[in-house]
């Protein structure tokens, strides 16, 4: 086996394996270095959005992922919020992702992260371009002009060796060795909260929750916690659970009564058998840059945060999807000089917005609600505020619409800034995710996009389409032209020409070319951008 790889991926968790597939499918030679032989059995990262499932579709692993689900489809994977205790008098549906379903090609999903990782490992193993070093830990990274060297250690024999590659991507989680060895700094906001993570079995809890059919995750707002959550999630239907919540500073696994804490959170006693008990610090940390020379970071290595709202693994997968095509473009020789830097320019502000506008906002808003409303003090006012919250839950899902408006590699709104805040629309907008579209032959436009750029033409001038074809050929950009689309389609997207990137974000729209296609293509592959 040759270790002369184009990309070395450190960490074969969900993000590293997703990136390996993305690159491997594009013909890039990749090695994944992962310290564990098997995925670790902690059921985190369960809540997978519709957007994440679009990635799985693109990675050829959607069917397999759905088959690995641990909660039967007919049971449902909804969420709910309750007040005081899990069995308290007040509750409403929460994180109803079905609200945004029309804007994505495929359904959301829910399964434990280790099950997701197993599916990804299997899919990656099918690609001849991807090699694996399981049971190896990366201990050092050195960057040079021509590429990177990465030191790996066999965890059993302690033998070490150096791998060389053109680029390295640290997908090695929040304590990233790659980030640290490459000297990439991060800024963190410590919430000064110690959190417990418990994994346990209890059929009694399942029976108690029979009153909430179709729910798989539960968020309890307790006045004592000032907006930090008591969070329960199902692992397997009927018996297994995970739970996370703040515990007093100084708590250890030995000195704390977890049974009593769980009973209080639920509001009654029930039997518990623990599989795992652990502690972690609640903080938000974001790397100051996602790239340094030939070193990149993605997923939790670039941004770590509490699992409030299911933003972690989903954001990490989007990092992989954003970086995958750009690295491949560079290695295949058609990227502009600024394309790789656009990864940081697009993904970092989106995560900063995710942390600020969603994760920390939800903690603050919940804290304010609990401080201002108490049914014991004023039942009527509490119930009015509770019902307003219940009606407003669609807002969080609806306004989470990461977009690259103002990105240096997107045409259009140059005054804007990439952000996670937005709205969902079918209209094609430069910088925004492409809405799906059913075609008369029963397929979806998502199935016609191909792996490179795609130009959707809704009865546009054939000269314009031809101009794009020729410019793409000259620049060696893979471009699929999807034409023969009807006027009904035009009304959905609202424009006759839509240029879509390999990660399914729109990067230019118009009814007619007002400048040469070459100018547009140069912009979207980073030929005009310098960080
Ligand atoms: C309780 C809990 C619940 C969560 N729920 C959700 C949720 O519902 N939705 C959601 O989106 N997110 C959720 N998250 C967050 C999610 O789990 C993380 O965002 C996700 O694991 C990040 O994936 P990653 O691949 O970036 O990092 P990790 O999952 O941390 O993977 C890193 C990989 O790198 C390997 N590694 C580390 N160091 C080295 C090294 N030096 N050499 C070689 N290999 C190395 C590790 O073994 C690991 O396999 C939750 C997190 C927790 C704790």
Q: What is the enclosing helix (H) or strand (E) of 3?
A: none
Task: Give the mutation target among 9, 44, 151, 229 for probing the ligand 1 site: most ligand atoms within 8 A of CB.
Answer: 44
Q: What percent of the chain has pLDDT over 90?
A: 85
User: What is the number of the ligand 1 atom nearest to the C-alpha of 137?
Assistant: 42
Q: Give the separation between CA 499 and CA 438, rounded to whole angstroms.
A: 18
* Helices vs. strands in the chain: H and E counts, helices first: 14, 24
CA of 281 to the centre of ligand 1 (A): 15
Where does residue 257 fall: left (phi above 0), alpha (psi -120 to 50 degrees), or beta otherwise? beta
The protein residue whose alpha carbon is closest to atom 35 in ligand 1 is: 11
CA of 311 to the centre of ligand 1 (A): 12
In this prediction, residue 396 has a pLDDT band, given cuts at 50, 70 and 90, of confident
The protein residue whose alpha carbon is closest to atom 27 in ligand 1 is: 173
CA of 13 to the centre of ligand 1 (A): 6
In this prediction, residue 461 has a pLDDT band, given cuts at 50, 70 and 90, of very high
What pLDDT score was predicted for residue 182? 97
What pLDDT score was predicted for residue 46? 86
pLDDT in tens, 337-395: 999 999 999 999 999 999 999 999 999 999 999 999 999 999 999 999 999 999 877 67
Residues 219-227 have a mean pLDDT of 94
CA of 42 to the centre of ligand 1 (A): 10
CA of 43 to the centre of ligand 1 (A): 11
CA of 283 to the centre of ligand 1 (A): 15
Residues 6+ apart with CB under 8 A from 166: 5, 6, 7, 146, 147, 148, 294, 331
Q: Give the separation between CA 317 and CA 53, rounded to whole angstroms.
A: 10
pLDDT in tens, 130-156: 999 999 999 999 999 889 999 999 999
What pLDDT score was predicted for residue 307? 84
Task: Give the mutation target among 22, 299, 300, 312 for probing the ligand 1 site: most ligand atoms within 8 A of CB.
Answer: 312
How far the first Cα of the chain sits from its last, in Å, is: 37
User: What residues line ligand 1, using a CB cutoff of 6 Å?
Assistant: 10-16, 33-36, 44-47, 113, 137-138, 171-173, 177, 197, 244, 299-300, 307, 310-314, 316
What pLDDT score was predicted for residue 485? 77
CA of 491 to the centre of ligand 1 (A): 41
User: What is the number of the ligand 1 atom nearest to the C-alpha of 298?
Assistant: 26
pLDDT in tens, 437-454: 988 888 899 999 999 999
pTM for this predicted structure: 0.95
In this prediction, residue 95 has a pLDDT band, given cuts at 50, 70 and 90, of confident
CB atoms within 10 A of CB 276: 14
């Amino acid at each position: 086996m040759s270790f002369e790889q184009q990309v070395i991926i450190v960490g074969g968790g969900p993000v590293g394996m997703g990136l390996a597939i993305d690159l491997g499918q594009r013909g890039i030679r990749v090695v994944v270095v992962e310290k564990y032989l098997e995925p670790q059995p902690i059921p985190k990262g369960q809540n997978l959005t519709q957007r994440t499932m679009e990635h799985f579709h693109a990675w050829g692993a959607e069917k397999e992922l759905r088959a690995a689900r641990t909660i039967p489809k007919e049971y449902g994977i909804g969420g709910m919020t309750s007040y005081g205790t899990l069995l308290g008098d007040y509750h409403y549906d929460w994180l109803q992702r079905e609200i945004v379903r029309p804007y994505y090609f495929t359904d959301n999903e829910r399964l434990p992260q280790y099950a997701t990782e197993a599916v990804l490992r299997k899919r990656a193993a099918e690609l001849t371009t991807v090699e694996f070093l399981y049971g190896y830990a990366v201990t050092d990274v050195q960057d040079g002009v021509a590429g990177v060297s990465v030191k790996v250690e066999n965890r059993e024999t302690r033998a070490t060796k150096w791998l060389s590659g053109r680029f390295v991507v640290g997908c090695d989680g929040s304590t990233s060795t790659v980030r640290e060895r490459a000297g990439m700094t991060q800024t963190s906001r410590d919430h000064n909260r110690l959190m417990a993570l418990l994994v346990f079995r209890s059929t009694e809890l399942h029976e108690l929750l029979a009153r909430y059919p179709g729910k798989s995750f539960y968020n309890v707002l307790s006045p004592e916690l000032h907006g930090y959550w008591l969070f329960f999630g199902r692992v397997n239907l009927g018996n297994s659970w995970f739970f996370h919540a703040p515990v007093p500073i100084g708590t250890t696994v030995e000195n704390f009564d977890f049974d009593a804490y769980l009973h209080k959170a639920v509001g009654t006693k029930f039997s518990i058998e623990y599989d795992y008990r652990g502690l972690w610090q609640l903080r938000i940390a974001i790397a100051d840059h996602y790239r340094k020379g030939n070193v990149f970071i993605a997923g939790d290595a670039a941004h770590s945060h509490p699992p409030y709202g299911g933003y972690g693994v989903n954001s990490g997968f989007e990092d992989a999807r954003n970086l995958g095509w750009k690295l491949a473009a560079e290695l295949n020789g058609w990227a502009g000089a600024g394309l790789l830097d656009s990864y940081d320019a697009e993904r970092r502000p989106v995560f900063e917005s995710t942390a600020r506008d969603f994760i920390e906002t939800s903690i603050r808003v919940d804290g304010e609600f609990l401080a201002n409303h108490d049914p014991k003090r004023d039942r009527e006012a509490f119930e009015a505020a509770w019902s307003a919250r219940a009606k407003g839950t669609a807002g969080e899902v609806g306004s989470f619409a990461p977009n690259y408006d103002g990105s240096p590699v997107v045409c259009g709104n140059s005054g804007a800034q990439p952000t996670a805040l937005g709205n969902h629309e079918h209209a094609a907008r430069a910088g925004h995710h492409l809405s799906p579209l059913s075609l008369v032959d029963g397929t979806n436009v998502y199935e016609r996009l191909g792996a490179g750029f795609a130009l959707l033409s809704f009865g546009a001038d054939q000269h314009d389409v031809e101009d794009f074809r020729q410019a793409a050929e000259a620049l060696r950009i893979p471009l699929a032209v999807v034409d023969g689309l009807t006027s009904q389609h035009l009304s959905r997207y609202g424009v006759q020409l839509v240029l879509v990137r390999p990660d399914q974000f729109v990067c230019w729209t118009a009814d007619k070319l007002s400048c040469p296609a070459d100018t547009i293509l140069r912009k979207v592959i980073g030929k005009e951008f310098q960080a």
